[in-house]
Chains A and B, each alone.
Chain A
Amino acid sequence: MPVVVTDKCHNCRFTECVTVCPVSCFHGDETMLYVDPDTCVDCGSCIPLCPVGAIYDSIDLPEDKQNWIKINAERAQLLPVIDSKKEPLPTAVQRRTELEGASGAA
């Protein structure tokens, strides 16, 4: 099962994931990344690398994030491949702090 990028990537886009993707299956826009499920080989290399835990193996995807399977498939078709490291978005560090706070409280 392919991996899925979720909304936690939104406004972060650290792009650590793209450096280890063996098949360059990440696509992206100005705010986040998406995985092309047809190209992904399910190796899972990217999952532990994401600083905010935004990438899930589809079988681990929480119920409230299931919609991201479809969003990844659709958006990846429309956007260019991102296969080398980019500067994280200016909002990334703040966003990570917020996400850490949210998961700590949960």
Chain B
Amino acid sequence: MSHPLRRVAIVGSGPSGFYLAEALDRLSLPVAIDVIDKLPTPFGLVRGGVAPDHPKIKSIATVFERIALRPNVRFLGNIEVGRDIELHELRDIYDVVVLAYGAERDRRLGIPGEDLVGSHSAGEFVGWYNGHPAHADRTFDLSHEAAVVIGLGNVAADICRILLRPLSELAVTDIADHALDALAASRIRTVHLVGRRDPADVKFSMPELRELASISGCAAVMSEAHFSGYGQEHSLTETQKKNLAFFQDLAARASELGKKKQLRFHFWKSPLALVGDRHVEKIRLRRNGSEVEELPCGLVVRCIGFRGTPVSGIAVDETTGTIPNCNGRVTEEGKIIPGLFVVGWLKRGPSGTIGSNRADSFAVAEEIAKDWPRLPTRSRGEDLFDLVQARQGRAVSFQRWKKIDEKEVLAGAPHGRPRRKLVTVDDLLRAAEV
């Protein structure tokens, strides 16, 4: 039996959204897919999250570009659900709506002093150096010698590298101009990387961990002088063994005197409070549940996870930060909402690599295909692009995004940079000529 053409909207144009578009396109179902983003630019965290000194990972955008250019796939930028269109309207225009807008809200430490000047979330800092329009006008105090980064995962690793790398290495990346200028004046010499976990249980991927230990001009050291392991290696997983071996090796390394900067790894330490008058001056930590230690610092960035944001009546479980679902089918009080799905960080929580989203989105596409014959036809044939153009006139097609892309790349070329990012929505829309 042949199926009628169905229309699918994917809300969010990051990895999970584009991999879902790819997966749906491959199912040989008659489907037209619109990938919607609230920003004028596509690719989500590949543009706004992946660190600028990881150009190879950024190049994953070319995979998404190929998907966006398939005949039955459209990118529609500068369309925000709740601002330009309501979710219930999307559900009337499309047969299937998939929420793929990630986890933008930072988790908080919930300790005294967290709102002092100089205390920031990872989202703010990462968005700032990546030129995300929501964070481009932030300022960070880099005038103190020591900074603290809380968390033992890849986001924390990225932030440490950006704070510690020689400026000459950042100057050839697509880091936002305002961040490059601010980092040029940075006086930070020591970054304390602090977490509650054990060295075996760090969440860094091995390539990220190795990079942390080999930043030029920066010594990576263990804050524990006598760290050697614990003699129960036999019960560890392969990943735990590798992590442990890495830190044992680091601890045994001769101290790298003569290096100007230092990255200090702190394990088994929980933040108790940020202390200061108006501005953060030090962080108080508890080690192994007993001893209390204080580290002077002028900047604290917490990288302890992200939560999804609720949309138009669809609630987020505050514990997991995800939208409750059954293999990707959005549920409300345990009941499936037909035709509404969720993928990516919003479905699973903020963990894994970009590639984890591919496996996940392909699995959800299979679930969508299972429901396909039973889904009610909702689409009334209205076109979202036309509708939004009538409302605000500034929707950005993929061809318009390419105008932004070309201008950014052109502006970067004389400086040996892959691109110079435009960082305000106004500038982006002007470049898109919409």
Q: With an 8 A cutoff between CB atoms, is B380 at the interface?
A: no
A44–B154 CA distance with the chains assembled, in angstroms: 13
Q: Is the CB of B358 within 8 A of A44?
A: no
Q: With an 8 A cutoff between CB atoms, is B318 at the interface?
A: no
Binary per-residue interface labels of chain A (34-64) against chain B in the complex, 1 for a CB within 8 Å, 0 otherwise: 0000000111111110000100010100000
Question: How close is A76's CB to chain B, nearest CB, in angstroms?
Answer: 17
Question: Which listed residue (A20, A53, A59, A84) contacts B355, Cβ 8 A?
Answer: A20
Question: Which listed residue (B63, B205, B352) contacts A44, Cβ 8 A?
Answer: B205
Question: How close is B70's CB to chain A, nearest CB, in angstroms?
Answer: 15
Q: Is the CB of B353 within 8 A of A20?
A: yes
Q: Is the CB of A23 within 8 A of B207?
A: no
User: Interface residue tally of chain B, by bracket?
Assistant: 20 to 34
A43–B354 CA distance with the chains assembled, in angstroms: 9
Q: Which residues of B contact A81 (CB under 8 A)?
A: none
Secondary structure at the A interface, as helix, strand, loop or mixed, is loop
Q: Is the CB of B207 within 8 A of A44?
A: yes
Question: Which listed residue (B56, B59, B210, B356) contacts A45, Cβ 8 A?
Answer: B356
Q: Which residues of A contact B195 (CB under 8 A)?
A: none
Q: Is the CB of B239 within 8 A of A48?
A: yes
Given that A19-B362, A22-B60, A53-B238 are known contacts, is A43 also in contact with B355, CB under 8 Å in the complex? yes
- Which residue on chain A has the smallest CB distance to residue B354? A22
Binary per-residue interface labels of chain B (250-284) against chain A in the complex, 1 for a CB within 8 Å, 0 otherwise: 00000000000000000000000000000000000
Q: Is the CB of A22 within 8 A of B238?
A: no
Q: With an 8 A cutoff between CB atoms, is B236 at the interface?
A: no
Q: Is the CB of B353 within 8 A of A45?
A: yes
A59–B353 CA distance with the chains assembled, in angstroms: 20
Q: Which residues of A contact B15 (CB under 8 A)?
A: 22
A38–B370 CA distance with the chains assembled, in angstroms: 36
Question: How close is B15's CB to chain A, nearest CB, in angstroms?
Answer: 7
Q: Is the CB of A43 within 8 A of B57?
A: yes
Secondary structure at the B interface, as helix, strand, loop or mixed, is helix
Most buried by A among B15, B57, B207, B355: B355
Q: Is the CB of A43 within 8 A of B353?
A: yes
Question: How close is B128's CB to chain A, nearest CB, in angstroms?
Answer: 24
Q: With an 8 A cutoff between CB atoms, is B69 at the interface?
A: no
Q: Is the CB of A48 within 8 A of B355?
A: no
Q: With an 8 A cutoff between CB atoms, is A21 at the interface?
A: yes
Q: Is the CB of B354 within 8 A of A45?
A: yes
Interface size on A, residues (CB 8 A): 18
Question: Which listed residue (A21, A24, A41) contacts B57, Cβ 8 A?
Answer: A41
Q: Is the CB of B206 within 8 A of A44?
A: yes
Question: How close is B158's CB to chain A, nearest CB, in angstroms?
Answer: 13
Q: Is the CB of B358 within 8 A of A20?
A: yes
Q: Is the CB of B239 within 8 A of A46?
A: no
Binary per-residue interface labels of chain B (207-243) against chain A in the complex, 1 for a CB within 8 Å, 0 otherwise: 1001000000000000000000000000000110000
Q: Which residues of B contact A22 (CB under 8 A)?
A: 15, 60, 63, 353-355, 358
Q: Is the CB of A20 within 8 A of B356?
A: yes
Q: Is the CB of A21 within 8 A of B56?
A: no
- Which residue on chain B has the smallest CB distance to residue A83? B358
Chain B residues 54 to 104 lying within 8 A of chain A, measured CB to CB, are 56-57, 59-60, 63
Q: Which residues of B contact A42 (CB under 8 A)?
A: 56, 207
A84–B59 CA distance with the chains assembled, in angstroms: 21
Q: Which residues of B contact A84 (CB under 8 A)?
A: 362
Most buried by A among B15, B63, B206, B207: B207
Q: Which residues of B contact A41 (CB under 8 A)?
A: 56-57, 59-60
Chain B residues 317 to 374 lying within 8 A of chain A, measured CB to CB, are 352-356, 358-359, 362
Q: Is the CB of B63 within 8 A of A47?
A: no
A33–B362 CA distance with the chains assembled, in angstroms: 20
Question: How close is A19's CB to chain B, nearest CB, in angstroms?
Answer: 4
Binary per-residue interface labels of chain A (76-87) against chain B in the complex, 1 for a CB within 8 Å, 0 otherwise: 000000001000
6 cross-chain pairs, A with B, having the tightest CB-CB distances, nearest first: A20-B355, A45-B355, A19-B359, A45-B353, A22-B355, A41-B56
Binding site for B on A (CB under 8 A): 19-24, 41-48, 53, 57, 59, 84
Given contacts A19-B358, A20-B355, A43-B205, 17 further A-B contacts (CB under 8 A): A19-B362, A20-B356, A21-B355, A22-B60, A23-B60, A41-B56, A41-B59, A41-B60, A42-B56, A43-B353, A44-B206, A44-B353, A45-B355, A45-B356, A48-B239, A57-B206, A84-B362
* 23 pairs of residues in contact across A and B, judged by CB atoms under 8 Å: A19-B359, A19-B362, A20-B356, A20-B358, A22-B15, A22-B355, A22-B358, A23-B60, A23-B63, A24-B63, A41-B57, A42-B56, A43-B57, A43-B205, A43-B207, A44-B207, A44-B353, A45-B353, A45-B354, A45-B355, A48-B238, A48-B239, A57-B206
